[in-house]
Structure 1
Amino acid sequence: MNSYSLIERVAQHLQRRVEDATRARARLHLLDWLGCVAGARQGPVADMARTAERDVLTRTALLGNVLEMDDVHRTALLHPGPVVWPAALSAVRETGGTMADLLDAGVRGYEAMIAIGATFDAHHYAHFHNTSTAGGFGGAAAAASAFGLDAQRTGWALANAGSTAGGLWAMRHADTMTKQIHAARAALEGLWFARLARAGASGPVAVLEGPQGLYAATVREPRPLVLGDGWRMAEVSFKPWAACRHVHPAIDCALDLRAAGQLSGKMQVATYADALAFCDNPHPVTEAQAKFSLQHGVAVIAAGRDAGPEDFTLAAIEALAPLRAQVTVTEDGAITARYPAHFGASLSCGGGSVALVDTRGDPERPASEAQIVAKARSLIAWGGLGDGDHSIEAAMHGDDPRALLALLDAWL
């Protein structure tokens, strides 16, 4: 009986056929990513990308997570969209592939990134940015799919992605563009490794569990590798609001209380430990800090705003200071115990209280196609690109990836 490494198991798993229903789901994630790129096309990161990089897809790789509205997988604690789609599009552009090739590459990229990322533990996440450390697997799998690589060569690409995996959370402690660089590096590196594997570059397929491998270096208690009959893209959440996902449960609670006319007075958020570790910030001074502030997220809703990109600008930070001062945060052990399978929170205030186990956009409370399209339309408008009809049509119903490349070239 053959004994396969974890990477080899993933590579073989990726050879399965992608069915039409999953391709339809992939179109929603593709559109969601396009909206995130469009919404970020005007700003410091976009200016930097235009100056630094000539290639439009390298520029997009730097923009997909700027707004903090990129899709997210809860148990893997990562954002696949901003890594997988630039790698997939780049590979399909290189091969002249079809829209089906692009969608299949996206599905397989999400699968590898999530399956491997979900094996990382809390120790890993405390120090490493999972979107970066698992992202190279996603980029490599997406490009390998577009290139038509067999299981062996796909495994080599994944193995070399694992051999160079990295991305420290040190960037959280300074106002930098490193988070965007993490996603772009993973996408571009994964693409390169697939290109090298296509030409015969081998890699250490025991890079996860083997001696001096990724687990030994960064993980204390690896979780089991789960490879099911379906595709794990179905487990990915869409983000309705322009903030870190750890802030979303508190925003969701605030919206429920506001809708009931009960959001008033001092506001007490209870949530899981990681939400506090990443987002307990009562005094943000930059847009990035505001997006990682539970206090600011609740204040946005208390002010009657909708938690769009405009609500995390410097002007909004200044305007909402008095409301942020009314918000306190604490850990709830029961909510922490359910995390990361469930991102929950409770909110109590003078008018009432509410508790949520799951957040809007999660698979248990899924976003509808109409809501995903509306989000993309609003982000395209935020980016100064009009009503977005052409972009939405190209992503949702188009049959030619070159139309998407032309859109991105015009945008960036």
Structure 2
Amino acid sequence: MSEPHLARLAASLARPPAKSERKRARLHLLDWLACVAGARGSEAARVAKAISGSGWERATYLGNVLEMDDVHRTALLHPGPVIWPVALSLPDTDMTARLDAAVRGYEAMIAIGAAFDAHHYAHWHPTATMGVFGSAAAFGSLIALDAGQYASALGNAGSVAGGLWHMRHDSGVLTKQWHIVHAVRTGRDAALHAKHGATGPQALLEGPQGLFAAMTKEPGDLASAGSGWLIEAVSLKPFAACRHAHPAIDAARELRKAGKLEAPFLVETFKDALTFCDRPDPQTELEAKFSLQHAVAVIADGRDAEPEDFSPEAITELADLRAQVSVVEDPAITARYPAHFGARVNGLELIDTLGDPERPVGEDAIIAKLHSLARWGGVSGNDADRAVSLALEGDDPQALDALIKEWTR
């Protein structure tokens, strides 16, 4: 009988990350801080303040509000909003321990998420269903679980995995933020219980009544980076919209730079982009972020797809341009998805999107993103500079904790 999936993953998590992965983790930490800074004025922030006195826990509500959180393409999930609150949740841990926890959290969340299929994605929010695994792995790293305890923590966390997409049909709800909070709390608790002897099912994924049977039709293999770590394959999002809209934004920007972006606009893209983002008449900020039509109108109007470009004011101002955008599926682009997020706008096709490993954005771009979202969230330039320093170079975890507590107060 083959070794259970979770047992193999647990053994892999026990190896030490290298300096290169810790450096990469710092970039994702900065990216997450940018997302938190930009969401300070949101309704989710109000709820967080009412519920928690802890900075890291309040920040849990904010990491995915602006739709600018990092993303893994083939697992179709966003690790950062789940992993960073957990990795920063134990006050007496140094930066190396926190970075290692993040690398392990990304690994578990992505490795398991990549095994789930299109049927799962059609009904379940993978950041939520897989987030419990990432949270358990990250906190397990902080409290030094051994391989057996890791497997138990993953099994128990996954036994209550969930998070349905139905919230997409209700305008303005905070369910997506609640999914993150639930994943963080559940995985963290599972790791803590495993540390004290709570054993769990190691065949939770492939077992006869496990997650594959319950949530998939054609499960695949767990992802592996070989001797490396999967955090290296995570994309960073430069635009304040659903990732499915990014290829169209990117192609429209290229046309605009060439002076060739002219109405009418035809967007050809993959099926999931239409499923999630074919929204010609958005009424709210969130709906605008999930609108291909609005995304292309933003670029056609000379804007850069920043948070203010999806505000109620922008929705009104861009109505005429939005009406000139048509969207259709291209089966060839769908066939390349999710390994490649692509789109064609008025004949210009991009196979991969800015921020993906094939077209990476560097440290300077994420620093600029931090400053842009900090301004949007009312954070001073000095505080933004301090965040950059703490994330990319700092070894003062208490200063980082204090910054997050101040931002979320």
Q: Smaller-chain TM-score range?
A: over 0.9
Identify the residue that residue 291 of structure 1 maps to in structure 2: 289
Cα offsets for 1:79-129 (capped at 9, x unmatched): 000000111111x32xx1110000000000000000000000000000000
What letter corresponds to residue 350 of structure 2 in structure 1?
L
What letter corresponds to residue 206 of structure 1 in structure 2?
A
Cα offsets for 1:331-372 (capped at 9, x unmatched): 000000000000000001xxxx31000000000000011111
Which 4+ residue blocks in structure 1 deviate beyond 3 angstroms? none
1:190 has 2:187 as partner: yes
Identify the residue that residue 371 of structure 2 maps to in structure 1: 377
TM-score (norm 1): 0.97
Question: Which of 351, 356, 364 is residue 358 of structure 2 equivalent to?
Answer: 364
The offset of 1:4, in angstroms, is 1.6
RMSD value, Cα: 0.9
SS of the aligned residue for 1:355 comes to strand
Name whichever of 367-376 and 276-285 sits farther off: 367-376
Point out where structure 2 has 5 or more consecutive residues left out of the alignment.
Answer: none
Identify the residue that residue 331 of structure 2 maps to in structure 1: 333
The offset of 1:184, in angstroms, is 1.5
TM-score (norm 2): 0.98
Identify the residue that residue 144 of structure 1 maps to in structure 2: 140
The offset of 1:183, in angstroms, is 1.3
What letter corresponds to residue 317 of structure 1 in structure 2?
I
Partners in 1 of 2:97 and 2:174 — Cα distance? 32
**1:255-404 superposed matches below 5 A:** 255-348=253-346, 353-387=347-381, 388-404=384-400
**1:151-162 superposed matches below 5 A:** 151-162=147-158
SS of the aligned residue for 1:60 comes to helix
The offset of 1:55, in angstroms, is 2.2
Identify the residue that residue 11 of structure 2 maps to in structure 1: 12
8 Å CA contact 1:65, 1:82 repeated in 2:
yes
Partners in 1 of 2:405 and 2:123 — Cα distance? 36
Identify the residue that residue 26 of structure 1 maps to in structure 2: 25
8 Å CA contact 2:72, 2:78 repeated in 1:
yes
8 Å CA contact 1:346, 1:355 repeated in 2:
yes
Partners in 2 of 1:226 and 1:49 — Cα distance? 34
Identify the residue that residue 110 of structure 2 maps to in structure 1: 114
What letter corresponds to residue 72 of structure 1 in structure 2?
V
The offset of 1:54, in angstroms, is 2.5
8 Å CA contact 1:58, 1:188 repeated in 2:
no
The offset of 1:56, in angstroms, is 2.0
Identify the residue that residue 164 of structure 1 maps to in structure 2: 160
What letter corresponds to residue 365 of structure 1 in structure 2?
R
Percent identity of equivalent pairs: 58
**1:220-231 superposed matches below 5 A:** 220-227=217-224, 228-231=226-229
Q: How many residues align?
A: 404
Partners in 1 of 2:232 and 2:183 — Cα distance? 22
Cα offsets for 1:349-406 (capped at 9, x unmatched): xxxx310000000000000111111111211121111121111101111112211110
SS of the aligned residue for 1:154 comes to helix
Identify the residue that residue 74 of structure 2 maps to in structure 1: 75
